[in-house]
Structure 1
Amino acid sequence: MASFLHIGSALLLGAALVNGQTSATTATTTSLAPAQQTVSADSDSGVPLNTAETVQLTTEVLQNLTSQLNQTTVSYFDFGNATAATKRSTTGCKVFPGDWAWPIDFIWDIFDLLLGGRLIKTVPSASSCYPGWGDQSAAECAYVASVWNDSHFHMEDPTSVMWPLYQGRTCLPTGSNVTATCTLGGYPSYAVNVSNVAQIQLAVNFARNLNIRLVVKNTGHDFSGKSAGAGALSIWTHHLKSLRYIPSYSDSTYSGPAVKMGAGIQAQEVYEFAHANGITVIGGEGKTVGVAGGYILGGGHSPLGSIYGLAADQVLALEVVLPDGTFTTVTAATNPDLFWALRGGGGSTFGIVTSLVVKAYPKIGVTVGSITFGTSNVISADTFFEALKTYYSYFDAFTAAGTYVYFWVFPLGNGQYIFETHPFFAVNHTVDQFNTLIQPFVDDLSALGISVTPSGTYYDDFYDAWLAGFPLETVGSTTMLTGSRLFPRENFNNATLLNVTIAAHRQTLEQGYPILAFQMKADAPAGSVPNAANPAFRTMLMHGITSISWPATASSAEILSAMNTMTNDVLGPWRAVSPNSGAYMSESDLLEPNFQQAFYGSNYARLYSLKQKYDPCGVLYAPTAVGSEDWTVSSADGLPDQNGRLCHV
């Protein structure tokens, strides 16, 4: 739309057609411009605001709106934690489509005008496969089906998620949709395609003041449906793509190079940018992970974690829209409480981050290696698990050397197993240094009768090594669920604990469940400012993941049974051998018992207190996020998904 959007003559402006009431101001001819003002780029972070951040909603803009809209309508977009809004939002349920309090189309139209035409009414990403949406097309449906498992498809859609199990399994592109229907399910009703801060502020205020559920989507790349929500308004930050290299950044906590990245930046984008500038930046293993979104806010493990710690440890400053709609800079000096909480305390919780300033490091070389062994006619299952235990016993030495290994252990059936590294990521190692590091392990395998011939390729830059080592992740499944555990150092250094750990993992594999794991450490870097990352990260040497699956035609009851099997029978033994540890919230079992301890540890009480301070209205909710126990979703299918009304407990 153009910058000025016209409302025809005799249109009722400012109609408060909400709650069944009408209060309007009649105008003959008028135009309604986007509700925004360009402000100074100065920031308390010491790094100027990016262009999107200088375009803000201000009290002056709201005051000017009263000449065009009546006071009631303007109040929908006002700042603050009004007592009435707090009371309304913390009792009962969020307003849902079809409720008498749901805004009529006319109010959504005004909202769109104030946004500058950035409001999107949701159409399911596979709508072309079904009648009723006006776009049914066999050719388009076939295309959607062909790219459904590609994360790029979902990240470019304003509301689709990469794990559609949590959307409610409706409107799938293939015959696996057992209901054969196409509804929004857990997709939000509307999304704001954000291009500036003012649009985020308008959306936050609108959702808070009208008690509408609010969700935030960057890429939709998560394992718990955190960016889904039936009847919600979604803030889509995917297109906030600014990047700035700061050769010399300095504050009271750090002095050195840094990078400022917009909230929509993904791993491949920031790695390419760092490569072009001759530096290294910490990000995720997956190509499409939104680095400045839930990844960093949830802690964020990295292929460089054994050397530099978590992604959350790299943050120097954040620009944030708070639940009251205000925009603020968060640093160790300006707001130490939020600076602590936002770095590891979880996404969609304390505010909506628009950009981050993070540390940058010198260019670093990596050897990408490979090791494989498995059962055979001469290698029994017992020998295989002895070899796996031997590998585990090297975790401390390997991580101390700075390595990061993504490894798979697969049950092949009939007592057969295979171990593979994908890859052995030897940071700051030449091929010769890699071979020297692993030779004692190779010798120990040889003593067990297992001959391996490791291979390795050296890359003089992290980006090239990462590109070669980690393939694009497959997404889009509705027939499986993952769960995880962070296993502490003591489980691999103490002989007794090592034995019970390998026994628990053998039980998992013998039952037919795979293990996909990261051998890594994430100790807090020396001199770093403390943050809210799960304390279990600081003692771990293994982030283990497993999965359970079910037929495409499984009923909701059968899926729920499988979920409970994962929680209790599969992950139960893992918890039993690491009772004082936890799990990584971004790659975890949604039904994790006592998630507060598992995902946040001893930090939870402080985090919950800060949640009540900064978000008393409960504007931001996500499954297993801080304060989520105060809410429940009345799911339409009885599964722990987002396909239902959000209500206060």
Structure 2
Amino acid sequence: MSRIATTVTSIALHLVFFLLKPSQSLWFEHADTQLTSEALVNLHPNEAALFQFDVLGSSKFKRTRNSTAGCKIYPGDAVWPSETAWEILNKLTGGSLIKTIPQAAPCYQGPLYNATECATLTANWTNTYTHIGDPVEMFGSPVFQGLTCQPPSFYNSGNCTLGGYPLYVINATTVADIQLGVNFARNTGVRLVVRNTGHDFSGKSGGGAALSIWTHYLKNISFVSNYVDDTLNYSGPAFKAGSGVEAYEMYKEASNHGVIVVGGEGQTVGVMGGYIQGGGHSPLSSIFGIAADQVLAYDVVLPNGQFVTASTASYPDLFWALRGGGGSTFGVVTSVTVKAYADMPITSVTFSYTTANISHDTFWAGYRAYLDYFPQNADAGTYAYHFVVSIGPSDLMFLMQPFFAPNKTVAETQALLKPWFTRLAALRINITPAYAHYDSFYPAWLNSFPLEAMEHTNAMTGSRLFPRSNWANETLLNATFEAIRESGEKGATLIMFNMAPTLKAGNTDNAVNPAWRKTVLHAIQNMEWPANATTAGILAARKAFTYGDMQRWRDVSPGAGCYLGESDRLEPNFQQAFYGSNYAKLLAIKKKYDPNDVFWAATAVGSEGWYLKTEDGLPSENGKLCRVGN
């Protein structure tokens, strides 16, 4: 092992170098440390082979080298990397390699059992800030981990195993860390996954026995007062931000400079990671468009290990794909440069009503009245985040939290809502709207939107982008309403967003699902199966949800689509639903940059060529990833 220590010391001297770029695109400190081919000559040839770069578009690494019987290699396979190989990876990344321990391990008998720690963890489990510093937790989709180690009061698995969690995690703080991880995974055949914050509804940040690259601590943010890109026809303020930056950090920094950026409503969502690569809807989308529309450049580690800047000037096809084509697909983004805009005042409105004193028919009549105003409200630049939820065995609640009106006074917002509120009063639906006016975006966002919670362990989620054309035909609008009502009456939690994220003037074409451009309602339904359901029962519930409850929504929106970040992992024909007419072009770009499928994620571009071989047949990350046909 002494030779390993010697070579690591030598390679470290070659990993540090500086490249000066134009001032508006300076690399962050994490990009100062990069892997070079010259550095690898200091390793023993067998060790260097683990980390060497590939040639873009090359297939020189034959399938037999990076797979076993058509699968990504797995612990127990003869070619699984030795402990020495993992130790070399750890040393070269400066000790950044983490061997995974599930966060809930203290709740189960074993060397980590700690009743006090478990009690504290359990009490705070649904709060996403509890998990934000954990390298593997899956916020939106714990069910896809396989539920092998949750706090017992949430789901008692009897013991604690890794399940669909990665086996190792690189806590990436430099570009070199990422390059080493990508090259190691490609050259050995170990499955590779990418995780930022873990916010997603499809389990994309998990992977049984995988190596995970964790970008959460790439937190740099830099403000550029006048960024110029003549090709994009943009000249104005911009931010360059590390891919680990979350919404609460980005919005606060923008506020410090007197500007705003387009990001998500959730506080802990990694807005510069998978969110922005997958499109990203925002409280500002009705004014400025989707988050991916704002991107001016990406810094990214490619599947061959090279570090590049993707923009209109370099790698323009990759730049197009990364703006909406999904994360964990084309490479590992380390930083993003995005447009910024002048700050503006906001009016926010919250209110609710329930069936406690009205019939269900009246309750739904109130919602049907609301639908009539979706196009005009969205066209006025608003973003309405609202819910229909079950409260008790038979009652329903409508909750507006909030009706978000950028650049509107209280009087203007009241005038916008008055037609609907007048109809609610005629139905004898009593509401007490609370209006709050803010001089700027940041405090309005911080005080208006609820903190997102950890997803349930027995839940299934799907979404639909309902097009504006449904509002042009009363028969179709009524059918849309009835499809939504049926889900609500069946006990689904409905999470809905009224907005108009069209392609705004000044934004250029990209890979964002074209269905977004026609949308005035992004609706999510979340249903649960019994907590004690058998495997067969869970499979039956999932089938009924995907091909029953979600099909009902598809039937009234033919040819539309879904938001890939908040969707049903089992969505049929996901290529059309998540990517629309862009899919063929995206797949060609995927094959160009990643011909050997170094990157794979559920429902991602090109994912149809692989499947997960799970022991129980349930959709989860708890199993081997294998090529279709093996």
TM-score by length of 1: 0.92
The residue number in structure 2 matching 1:635 is 614
SS of alignment partner, residue 271 of structure 1: helix
Distance, in Å, in 1 between the alignment partners of 2:123 and 2:391 is 28
What SS class does the counterpart of residue 262 from structure 2 fall into?
A: coil
Q: Which residue of 2 aligns with 1:212?
A: 190
Are 2:59 and 2:595, in contact at CA under 8 Å, matched by a contact in 1?
no
Q: Does structure 2 retain, via aligned residues, the 8 Å contact 1:128–1:136?
A: yes
How do 1:373-388 and structure 2 match up within 5 A? 373-375=353-355, 377=357, 379-388=358-367
Which residue of structure 1 lines up, in the alignment, with residue 605 of structure 2? Answer: 626
2:94 corresponds to which residue? 116
Percent pairwise identity = 48
CA contact (8 A) 1:44 1:329 kept: no
Aligned equivalent of 2:49: 75
Separation of aligned partners in 2, 1:543 and 1:301? 9
Q: 1 CA distance for matches of 2:17 and 2:331?
A: 21
| 1:222 matched residue in structure 2 | 200
* Pairing of 1:113-262 with structure 2 (within 5 A): 113-132=91-110, 134-162=111-139, 163-252=141-230, 253=232, 254-262=234-242
| Poorly superposed stretches of 4+, deviation over 4 Å | 29-33, 411-416
**What does residue 521 of structure 2 align with?**
542
Q: 5 Å matches for 1:435-450? A: 435-450=414-429
User: Quick one: distance in 1 between partners of 2:129 and 2:366?
Assistant: 38
The equivalent of 1:552 in structure 2 is 531
- Per-residue CA shift, 1:475-519, capped at 9, x if unaligned? 052121211111011112321111111111121122222321011
Deviation larger for 513-522 or 214-223? 513-522
Q: CA deviation at 1:410?
A: 2.7
Quick one: structure 1 residues 443 and 245, their matched pair in 2 at CA, closer, same or farther if it must change by over 3 Å? same
- Cα shift at 1:157: 0.9
Aligned match of 2:38 in 51, 60, 63? 60
Aligned to 2:241, what secondary structure does the other structure show? strand
Shift of 1:191: 0.5
What is the match of residue 474 of structure 2?
Answer: 495
- On the 8 A contact 1:550/1:562 being kept in 2, the answer is yes
Inter-partner Cα distance in structure 2 for 1:376 and 1:221: 34
Once the two structures are TM-superposed, the CA of residue 135 in structure 1 deviates from its matched residue by: 2.1
Alignment of 1:443-592 (within 5 A): 443-592=422-571
Q: Mind listing any 5+ residue stretches in structure 2 that lack a counterpart?
A: none
Contact 2:109 2:159 in 1 (8 A): no
Task: Confirm or deny: 8 A CA contact 1:393 1:493 kept in the other structure.
Answer: no
CA distance in 2, matches of 1:441, 1:453: 14
C-alpha distance in structure 2 between counterparts of 1:191 and 1:572, whole Å: 38
After superposition, the CA RMSD in angstroms is 1.9
| Counterpart AA for 1:126 | A
Q: Distance in 2 between matches of 1:469 and 1:460?
A: 14
Equivalent residue for 2:408? 429
Pairwise CA distance, 1:459: 0.7
Give the direction of change, closer, same or farther, for the CA distance of 1:401–1:30 in structure 2 (3 Å limit). Answer: closer
In structure 1, what residue type is equivalent to 2:53?
Answer: F
> Which residue matches 1:19?
none
State which of 95, 99, 103 in structure 1 corresponds to 2:77: 99
Cα pair distance change 1:38/1:497, threshold 3 Å: same
- Deviations, residues 330-389 of structure 1 (Å, cap 9, x unaligned): 101212211110000000000110000000001111111024334455x43333322211
Report if the CA contact (8 A) 1:34-1:115 is conserved: no
Partners of 1:566 and 1:544 lie apart in 2 by 15
**Inter-CA distance 182–235: structure 2 relative to 1 (3 Å threshold):** same
| Aligned mates of 2:24, 2:556 — CA distance in 1 | 46
Equivalent residue for 1:339, pick from 300, 319, 332: 319
Q: Which moved more, 1:238-247 or 1:442-451?
A: 442-451
Q: Secondary structure at the match of 1:274?
A: helix
User: Which amino acid letter does the alignment assign opposite residue 60 of structure 1?
Assistant: E
Cα distance, 1:175 vs. partner? 4.0
Are the equivalent residues in 1 in contact too, given 2:24–2:224 (CA < 8 A)? no
The answer to whether the 8 Å contact 2:286/2:501 transfers is: yes
Q: Which residue of 1 aligns with 2:279?
A: 299
Deviations 1:539-568 (A, max 9, x none): 000111111112333222222222112111
Distance in structure 2 (CA, Å) of the matches to 1:297 and 1:286: 16
CA–CA distance in structure 2, aligned partners of residues 98 and 371 of structure 1:
56
Deviations 1:62-107 (A, max 9, x none): 12x2xxx321220110001453424334770001011110011111
Which whole-Å CA distance do the structure 1 matches of 2:414 and 2:517 have between them?
A: 28
Query: Which segments of 5 or more consecutive residues in structure 1 lack a partner in the other structure?
Result: 1-6, 15-26
Equivalents in 2 of 1:518, 1:303: separation in Å?
9
Report which stretch shifted further, 512-521 or 197-206: 512-521
- Conserved in 2, the CA contact under 8 Å of 1:521 and 1:541? yes
What is the TM-score with the length of structure 2 in the denominator? 0.95
Deviation larger for 304-313 or 403-412 = 403-412
Shift of 1:144: 2.0
Following the alignment from structure 1 to structure 2, what is the Cα–Cα distance between the partners of residues 551 and 306? Answer: 38
Specify the alignment match of 1:87 in structure 2.
63
Q: For the structure 1 residues 597 and 131, does the alpha-carbon distance in structure 2 shift closer, same or farther, using more than 3 Å as the test?
A: same
For residues 26-41 of structure 1, the aligned pairs below 5 Å read 31=9, 33-34=11-12, 37-41=15-19
Q: Is contact 2:354–2:397 with CA below 8 Å preserved after alignment?
A: yes
- Residue of structure 2 equivalent to 1:355: 335
Tell me if 1:316 matches 2:296.
Answer: yes
Deviates more, 1:291-300 or 1:33-42: 33-42
- Rounded Cα–Cα distance in structure 2 between residues aligned with 1:174 and 1:415: 28
1:590-601 matched pairs, under 5 angstroms: 590-601=569-580
Using the TM superposition, give the Cα deviation of residue 569 of structure 1 relative to its aligned residue in structure 2, in angstroms. 1.5
Between 1:339-348 and 1:406-415, the stretch displaced more is 406-415
Q: Contact (CA 8 Å) 2:18, 2:32: kept in 1 or not?
A: yes
**Residue aligning to 1:4:** none
TM superposition shift of 1:220: 0.9
Task: State how far apart, in whole Å, the 1-side matches of 2:28 and 2:151 are.
Answer: 39
Answer yes or no: is the 8 Å Cα contact 1:415–1:510 preserved in 2. Answer: no
* Separation of aligned partners in 1, 2:70 and 2:36: 31
